[in-house]
Amino acid sequence: MEGPTVPVITFLSDYGPWDEFVGVCHAVIARRAPRARIVDLGHGIARGDVRGGALALRAALPYAPAGVHLAVVDPGVGGERRAVALRLAGDGRTLVGPDNGLLTLAAETLGGVLDAVDIGDSPECLRPISATFHGRDVFAPVAAALADGAAIDGLGEPVEAADLVTLSLPQADVDDGALTAHVLSTDVYGNVSLDAGGELAAAAGLRTGDSLLVEFDGGATAARLGRAFSDVAPGELVVYVDGRGALALALNGGSAATELGLEVDDELVLRAR
Protein backbone atom coordinates (compact mmCIF):
# COMPACT_ATOMS: atom_id res chain seq x y z
CA MET A 1 0.00 0.00 0.00
CA GLU A 2 2.74 2.37 -1.05
CA GLY A 3 2.12 5.89 -2.26
CA PRO A 4 4.33 8.79 -3.16
CA THR A 5 6.34 10.08 -0.21
CA VAL A 6 4.61 12.93 1.55
CA PRO A 7 6.92 15.87 2.24
CA VAL A 8 7.10 16.85 5.90
CA ILE A 9 7.34 20.35 7.33
CA THR A 10 7.95 20.55 11.07
CA PHE A 11 7.02 23.82 12.77
CA LEU A 12 8.11 25.27 16.11
CA SER A 13 7.41 28.80 17.35
CA ASP A 14 6.63 31.10 20.23
CA TYR A 15 3.25 32.10 18.76
CA GLY A 16 1.35 30.42 21.58
CA PRO A 17 -2.09 28.82 21.64
CA TRP A 18 -4.18 31.99 21.81
CA ASP A 19 -3.87 33.93 18.57
CA GLU A 20 -4.39 32.89 14.96
CA PHE A 21 -0.70 33.18 14.07
CA VAL A 22 0.09 29.45 13.93
CA GLY A 23 -3.11 28.78 12.01
CA VAL A 24 -2.40 31.45 9.41
CA CYS A 25 1.04 29.92 8.78
CA HIS A 26 -0.63 26.53 8.36
CA ALA A 27 -3.05 28.11 5.89
CA VAL A 28 -0.22 29.64 3.88
CA ILE A 29 1.55 26.29 3.73
CA ALA A 30 -1.64 24.46 2.75
CA ARG A 31 -2.01 26.78 -0.25
CA ARG A 32 1.57 26.64 -1.48
CA ALA A 33 2.26 22.98 -0.71
CA PRO A 34 -1.09 21.19 -0.50
CA ARG A 35 0.55 17.76 -0.28
CA ALA A 36 2.90 18.60 2.58
CA ARG A 37 2.22 17.27 6.04
CA ILE A 38 2.83 19.70 8.88
CA VAL A 39 4.14 18.31 12.16
CA ASP A 40 3.80 20.92 14.90
CA LEU A 41 6.71 20.49 17.27
CA GLY A 42 5.22 23.04 19.64
CA HIS A 43 4.33 26.70 19.78
CA GLY A 44 4.68 27.34 23.49
CA ILE A 45 8.24 28.64 23.59
CA ALA A 46 8.32 31.68 25.88
CA ARG A 47 7.82 34.78 23.75
CA GLY A 48 11.12 35.87 22.22
CA ASP A 49 13.14 33.17 24.03
CA VAL A 50 15.53 32.34 21.19
CA ARG A 51 17.70 30.05 23.31
CA GLY A 52 14.70 28.17 24.68
CA GLY A 53 13.51 27.67 21.13
CA ALA A 54 16.94 26.57 19.94
CA LEU A 55 17.18 23.97 22.72
CA ALA A 56 13.70 22.63 22.03
CA LEU A 57 14.45 22.41 18.32
CA ARG A 58 17.70 20.55 18.96
CA ALA A 59 15.87 18.14 21.26
CA ALA A 60 12.99 17.49 18.88
CA LEU A 61 14.45 17.34 15.37
CA PRO A 62 16.41 14.09 15.71
CA TYR A 63 13.04 12.38 16.24
CA ALA A 64 11.45 13.93 13.15
CA PRO A 65 11.60 12.62 9.61
CA ALA A 66 14.06 14.51 7.41
CA GLY A 67 12.23 17.36 5.73
CA VAL A 68 11.81 21.09 5.96
CA HIS A 69 12.08 22.38 9.51
CA LEU A 70 10.44 25.73 10.11
CA ALA A 71 11.12 27.59 13.36
CA VAL A 72 10.07 31.09 14.34
CA VAL A 73 11.14 32.76 17.57
CA ASP A 74 11.89 36.18 16.26
CA PRO A 75 12.10 39.14 18.64
CA GLY A 76 14.03 41.08 16.00
CA VAL A 77 11.34 40.79 13.30
CA GLY A 78 11.20 43.87 11.14
CA GLY A 79 14.72 44.87 12.15
CA GLU A 80 18.15 44.05 10.74
CA ARG A 81 18.33 40.32 11.42
CA ARG A 82 18.46 38.07 8.36
CA ALA A 83 15.90 35.45 7.41
CA VAL A 84 17.58 32.27 6.25
CA ALA A 85 17.18 28.78 4.85
CA LEU A 86 19.94 26.30 5.70
CA ARG A 87 20.61 23.07 3.86
CA LEU A 88 22.28 20.56 6.18
CA ALA A 89 24.77 17.82 5.57
CA GLY A 90 23.63 14.37 6.61
CA ASP A 91 20.14 13.31 5.61
CA GLY A 92 19.19 16.36 3.58
CA ARG A 93 17.19 18.46 6.01
CA THR A 94 16.50 22.13 5.44
CA LEU A 95 15.99 24.60 8.28
CA VAL A 96 14.02 27.83 7.79
CA GLY A 97 13.83 30.72 10.24
CA PRO A 98 15.43 33.90 11.52
CA ASP A 99 19.24 34.11 11.66
CA ASN A 100 19.40 34.79 15.39
CA GLY A 101 20.82 31.52 16.69
CA LEU A 102 17.49 29.70 16.77
CA LEU A 103 18.54 27.23 14.08
CA THR A 104 22.25 26.76 14.67
CA LEU A 105 22.22 24.40 17.68
CA ALA A 106 20.02 21.97 15.77
CA ALA A 107 22.06 22.45 12.60
CA GLU A 108 25.26 21.45 14.41
CA THR A 109 23.66 18.39 15.95
CA LEU A 110 22.23 17.24 12.63
CA GLY A 111 25.33 17.44 10.48
CA GLY A 112 26.22 21.08 9.99
CA VAL A 113 25.30 23.65 7.36
CA LEU A 114 26.13 22.94 3.69
CA ASP A 115 24.45 25.96 2.13
CA ALA A 116 22.71 29.03 3.50
CA VAL A 117 20.63 31.61 1.68
CA ASP A 118 19.08 34.89 2.74
CA ILE A 119 15.35 34.49 2.10
CA GLY A 120 14.24 37.91 3.36
CA ASP A 121 13.43 39.04 -0.16
CA SER A 122 12.75 35.64 -1.71
CA PRO A 123 10.45 35.46 -4.74
CA GLU A 124 8.33 33.11 -2.62
CA CYS A 125 7.52 35.77 0.00
CA LEU A 126 3.95 37.01 0.24
CA ARG A 127 3.91 40.70 -0.62
CA PRO A 128 3.63 43.26 0.76
CA ILE A 129 5.82 41.75 3.48
CA SER A 130 4.50 42.95 6.83
CA ALA A 131 7.02 44.28 9.32
CA THR A 132 5.78 42.12 12.18
CA PHE A 133 4.57 38.78 10.80
CA HIS A 134 7.40 37.19 8.83
CA GLY A 135 6.11 33.77 9.86
CA ARG A 136 3.26 34.30 7.43
CA ASP A 137 4.96 36.38 4.77
CA VAL A 138 8.51 35.01 4.64
CA PHE A 139 9.16 31.81 6.58
CA ALA A 140 6.02 29.75 5.93
CA PRO A 141 5.87 30.36 2.17
CA VAL A 142 9.57 29.62 1.76
CA ALA A 143 9.27 26.44 3.82
CA ALA A 144 6.28 25.42 1.72
CA ALA A 145 8.16 26.07 -1.52
CA LEU A 146 11.04 23.89 -0.32
CA ALA A 147 8.64 21.12 0.64
CA ASP A 148 7.10 21.45 -2.79
CA GLY A 149 10.47 20.79 -4.37
CA ALA A 150 11.89 24.28 -4.95
CA ALA A 151 15.69 24.41 -4.98
CA ILE A 152 17.22 26.38 -2.15
CA ASP A 153 19.49 28.32 -4.53
CA GLY A 154 16.54 30.00 -6.17
CA LEU A 155 15.20 31.32 -2.89
CA GLY A 156 17.72 34.05 -2.18
CA GLU A 157 21.31 35.20 -2.10
CA PRO A 158 23.96 32.89 -0.63
CA VAL A 159 25.16 33.54 2.90
CA GLU A 160 28.45 32.26 4.30
CA ALA A 161 27.74 29.55 6.84
CA ALA A 162 30.47 31.03 9.02
CA ASP A 163 28.54 34.29 9.18
CA LEU A 164 25.42 32.78 10.72
CA VAL A 165 24.55 33.96 14.22
CA THR A 166 25.34 31.35 16.87
CA LEU A 167 24.40 31.10 20.53
CA SER A 168 26.97 30.91 23.25
CA LEU A 169 25.92 28.41 25.87
CA PRO A 170 27.46 28.00 29.30
CA GLN A 171 29.84 25.09 29.73
CA ALA A 172 29.61 22.47 32.46
CA ASP A 173 32.82 21.28 34.07
CA VAL A 174 34.03 18.46 36.31
CA ASP A 175 36.71 19.07 38.87
CA ASP A 176 37.75 17.03 41.87
CA GLY A 177 34.51 15.12 42.24
CA ALA A 178 32.32 18.15 41.76
CA LEU A 179 30.15 18.90 38.74
CA THR A 180 29.77 22.61 38.03
CA ALA A 181 26.78 23.09 35.76
CA HIS A 182 24.40 25.85 34.69
CA VAL A 183 20.68 26.24 34.16
CA LEU A 184 19.93 25.91 30.44
CA SER A 185 16.16 26.13 30.68
CA THR A 186 13.21 25.52 32.96
CA ASP A 187 9.91 24.02 31.89
CA VAL A 188 6.39 24.98 32.96
CA TYR A 189 6.55 22.56 35.86
CA GLY A 190 9.65 24.20 37.26
CA ASN A 191 11.97 21.35 36.28
CA VAL A 192 15.45 22.74 35.73
CA SER A 193 17.50 21.42 32.82
CA LEU A 194 21.30 21.72 33.06
CA ASP A 195 24.14 21.95 30.55
CA ALA A 196 25.40 18.50 31.43
CA GLY A 197 24.31 14.97 30.62
CA GLY A 198 24.56 11.70 32.48
CA GLU A 199 28.13 11.12 31.29
CA LEU A 200 29.42 14.25 33.07
CA ALA A 201 27.66 13.17 36.25
CA ALA A 202 29.46 9.85 35.94
CA ALA A 203 32.76 11.64 35.32
CA ALA A 204 32.21 13.47 38.60
CA GLY A 205 31.79 10.10 40.29
CA LEU A 206 28.08 10.56 40.95
CA ARG A 207 26.10 7.33 40.84
CA THR A 208 22.39 6.60 40.63
CA GLY A 209 21.04 6.43 44.16
CA ASP A 210 23.69 8.77 45.58
CA SER A 211 22.69 11.47 47.99
CA LEU A 212 23.94 14.76 46.55
CA LEU A 213 24.72 18.20 47.86
CA VAL A 214 23.54 20.89 45.44
CA GLU A 215 25.12 24.30 45.97
CA PHE A 216 23.61 27.33 44.31
CA ASP A 217 23.68 31.09 44.68
CA GLY A 218 21.76 31.53 47.89
CA GLY A 219 22.28 28.22 49.59
CA ALA A 220 22.72 24.49 49.39
CA THR A 221 20.30 21.62 49.51
CA ALA A 222 20.18 17.85 49.43
CA ALA A 223 18.99 15.87 46.44
CA ARG A 224 19.09 12.30 45.25
CA LEU A 225 20.49 11.14 41.94
CA GLY A 226 17.61 9.06 40.61
CA ARG A 227 15.94 7.93 37.43
CA ALA A 228 12.47 9.47 37.80
CA PHE A 229 10.38 11.66 40.07
CA SER A 230 9.08 8.62 41.85
CA ASP A 231 12.58 7.88 43.18
CA VAL A 232 12.11 10.52 45.87
CA ALA A 233 9.33 11.30 48.30
CA PRO A 234 6.95 14.19 47.60
CA GLY A 235 8.64 17.46 48.48
CA GLU A 236 12.13 16.08 47.87
CA LEU A 237 14.56 16.97 45.11
CA VAL A 238 15.70 14.52 42.48
CA VAL A 239 18.51 14.93 39.96
CA TYR A 240 17.82 12.80 36.89
CA VAL A 241 18.44 12.59 33.16
CA ASP A 242 15.46 14.27 31.50
CA GLY A 243 13.77 13.56 28.19
CA ARG A 244 16.29 15.74 26.36
CA GLY A 245 19.18 13.73 27.76
CA ALA A 246 20.17 16.54 30.09
CA LEU A 247 20.81 16.33 33.80
CA ALA A 248 17.85 18.02 35.46
CA LEU A 249 16.62 18.99 38.88
CA ALA A 250 13.00 18.39 39.87
CA LEU A 251 10.96 18.68 43.03
CA ASN A 252 8.51 15.79 43.37
CA GLY A 253 5.11 17.49 43.45
CA GLY A 254 6.44 21.04 43.12
CA SER A 255 8.63 23.49 41.24
CA ALA A 256 12.38 23.16 41.72
CA ALA A 257 12.94 26.49 39.94
CA THR A 258 10.67 28.37 42.32
CA GLU A 259 11.81 26.53 45.43
CA LEU A 260 15.48 27.24 44.80
CA GLY A 261 14.96 30.56 43.02
CA LEU A 262 16.84 29.34 39.94
CA GLU A 263 16.97 31.18 36.64
CA VAL A 264 18.56 30.57 33.27
CA ASP A 265 22.41 30.64 33.42
CA ASP A 266 22.56 30.26 37.20
CA GLU A 267 25.46 28.10 38.33
CA LEU A 268 25.08 24.94 40.42
CA VAL A 269 27.69 22.68 41.97
CA LEU A 270 26.73 19.03 42.52
CA ARG A 271 28.77 16.59 44.57
CA ALA A 272 28.18 13.35 46.48
CA ARG A 273 27.63 13.75 50.20
Residues at the interface with a copy of itself (CB under 8 A)? 1, 3-6, 8, 10, 12, 16-24, 26-28, 30-31, 34-35, 37, 39-44, 47, 56, 59-61, 63-65, 76-79, 126, 130-133, 136, 187-189, 227-231, 240-243, 245
Name the amino acid, one letter, at 84.
V
Nearest distance from C-beta of residue 61 to a copy of itself, angstroms: 8
Nearer to a copy of itself (CB atom), residue 55 or residue 159: 55
Least distance (Å) between residue 179 CB and a copy of itself: 19
CB-nearer residue toward a copy of itself: 122 or 191: 191
Report which secondary-structure segment, H or E, holds 9: strand 8-13
Q: Nearer Cβ to a copy of itself, position 202 or 228? A: 228
Q: Are 40 and 23 in contact (CB under 8 A)?
A: no
On the question of a cis peptide bond just before residue 128, with omega within 30 degrees of 0, the verdict is: yes
Shortest distance, position 46 Cβ to a copy of itself, whole Å: 9
- Contact present, 107 and 115 (Cβ < 8 Å): no
**Closest CB to a copy of itself among 30 and 165?**
30
Beta carbon of residue 265, minimum distance to a copy of itself (angstroms, whole number): 20
Cβ closest to a copy of itself, residue 44 vs residue 170: 44
CA distances to 3, 104, 166, 264, 265 from 169, rounded to whole Å, are: 43, 12, 9, 11, 9
Cα separation, 61 vs 244, whole angstroms: 11
Nearer to a copy of itself by Cβ, of 115 and 244: the residue is 244
Asked if 105 and 184 count as a contact pair (C-beta separation under 8 A), the reply is no
Distance from C-alpha of 241 to C-alpha of 109, rounded to nearest angstrom: 19
- Compute CA distances 109 → 93, 122, 153, 183, whole Å: 12, 27, 23, 20
Is the Cβ of residue 221 or residue 229 nearer to a copy of itself in the bound state?
229
In the complex, the smallest distance separating the C-beta of residue 176 from a copy of itself, rounded to whole angstroms, is 28
Shortest distance, CB of residue 23 to a copy of itself, whole angstroms? 3
Alpha carbon distance 135, 95 (integer Å):
14
* Residue 120 C-beta: closest distance to a copy of itself, Å: 14
Q: Rounded to an integer, what distance in angstroms lies between the CA atom of residue 95 and that of residue 104?
A: 9
Name the helix (H) or strand (E) containing 238.
strand 237-241
